[in-house]
Structure 1
Amino acid sequence: MAFTGSGTKEDPWTVSTPPGGSQYQVYRDETADPPALMCQVGSTKLSYQLRCIDDLHEMLKGYGDWMPLGNADEQKPAAPGTVEAWARADDNPVGGWYGLKKGFRGRFANYVPPVLEALGLAEVEHNARNNRMRAI
C-alpha cells in the first residue's frame, strides 16, 4: 500500500486503513511522555505508545504466520488471538493497553498495522473485512 510523508509532525505519514476506506496521518512524537505514535483521523486524535511498532513486529515474528487484526473500539471486547487482543493484553510488553487516551485506546488493529506495512515491517491484507497481517 502506498504512503507519503516522513513520519514527523511537520510531514506525517499518510496511510490508509486496512480496508482502504479511510486515509489518516500518523507521526512519531519522541517528545511525548511516553514517546507516542500520533494518529489524526479526521478530527479525532488517537495516540499509542511509540514502542508499539517494534513490539508488534517482534510479536508477529514470533507468531510466524498470518494473524487476524480483530479491530474493535475500546468499549468492545477484542476477539481472542487477534492483534487487537494482543494490544490490550496484560501479558504484552507494556502490561496492557498501548493506547494512551482513555476512551480512544481501541482501534489499534485499524491504525497501527498500516504503519508497519509502510515501514516495510509487515504485510497487511486489504479486504473489505477480516484482514490479517504478518511480519516480514
Structure 2
Amino acid sequence: MIDSLGSGTESDPWRLQTPPLTSELAMHREIRDGRDVLVCTVGKTVLFYDAKCLKDLHDMLKARGDWVELGAADEQKPAKAGTVEAWGRAPDNPVGGWYGLKKGLRGRFGMYIPPLMERLGLAEVEHKPRGNRMRAL
C-alpha cells in the first residue's frame, strides 16, 4: 500500500492505486489554459480531467444516496449505463459531456477519479478484483 499522502502539487503528487489495487498512479492539480485540471500519470501515460469533476461527482453520489458501480472504460469503448464512467461522459452531466480533457484518453474516469475522491475523504470506494462501486461520504 502507498503511504505518501502527497499534497496534490506537481512536486508532491497524490500517490494512489486503482480500485482493484493492481496499478499505481500519481495525480496533482494545476492550472492549464486557465482551467483547474487534475493531471493523472499512470506509467508513461498522462491524462487530464477537469477538476470540477470532484465536486460534481460528489454531488451526484450524494443525490443517488447509494453505491454506484465504477464501470471504467477506455474512450473508444461504450460505458455501461448507470456507472460513474457513463456519468463522467454523459451529455446531461454538469459540464455537458466528458470530464476527460485529452482527446483519445478521455475515458477511464471511473478508474482514476474514485481513488482521489477516497483519498480526499469525499467517497468510499470498494477494492475488489472486479465490479467495484463507490458512494459519497
Indicate the residue corresponding to 1:84 in structure 2.
85
- Segments ≥4 residues shifted beyond 6 Å: none
* Whole-Å separation in 1 of the counterparts to 2:10 and 2:115: 18
* Whole-Å separation in 2 of the counterparts to 1:3 and 1:91: 36
Q: CA deviation at 1:31?
A: 4.6
| TM-score between both structures, scaled by the size of structure 2 | 0.96
Indicate the residue corresponding to 1:109 in structure 2.
110
Task: Give the AA of the match of 1:6.
Answer: S
SS, match of residue 35 in structure 2: coil
| TM-score between both structures, scaled by the size of structure 1 | 0.96
* Whole-Å separation in 1 of the counterparts to 2:29 and 2:75: 22
Indicate the residue corresponding to 2:120 in structure 1.
119
Q: Is 2:11 the partner of 1:10?
A: yes
Q: CA deviation at 1:33?
A: 3.2
Indicate the residue corresponding to 1:97 in structure 2.
98
Q: Deviations over 1:63-95 (max 9, x none)?
A: 100000001000000000000000000000000
SS, match of residue 112 in structure 1: helix
Indicate the residue corresponding to 1:22 in structure 2.
23
* Whole-Å separation in 1 of the counterparts to 2:33 and 2:14: 18
Q: CA deviation at 1:32?
A: 4.2
* Whole-Å separation in 1 of the counterparts to 2:55 and 2:116: 11
Q: CA deviation at 1:30?
A: 3.1
Q: CA deviation at 1:4?
A: 2.0
Matches within 5 A, 1:26-65: 26-65=27-66
SS, match of residue 14 in structure 1: strand
SS, match of residue 128 in structure 1: coil
Q: Note if contact 1:3-1:118 (Cα within 8 Å) is conserved in structure 2.
A: no
Q: Deviations over 1:107-131 (max 9, x none)?
A: 0000000000000000000000000
Task: Give the AA of the match of 2:128.
Answer: N
* Whole-Å separation in 2 of the counterparts to 1:3 and 1:87: 27
Which runs of no fewer than 5 residues in structure 2 stay unpaired? Answer: none
Task: Give the AA of the match of 2:132.
Answer: N
Q: 1:23 to 1:32 in 2, by over 3 A?
A: farther
* Whole-Å separation in 2 of the counterparts to 1:49 and 1:69: 18
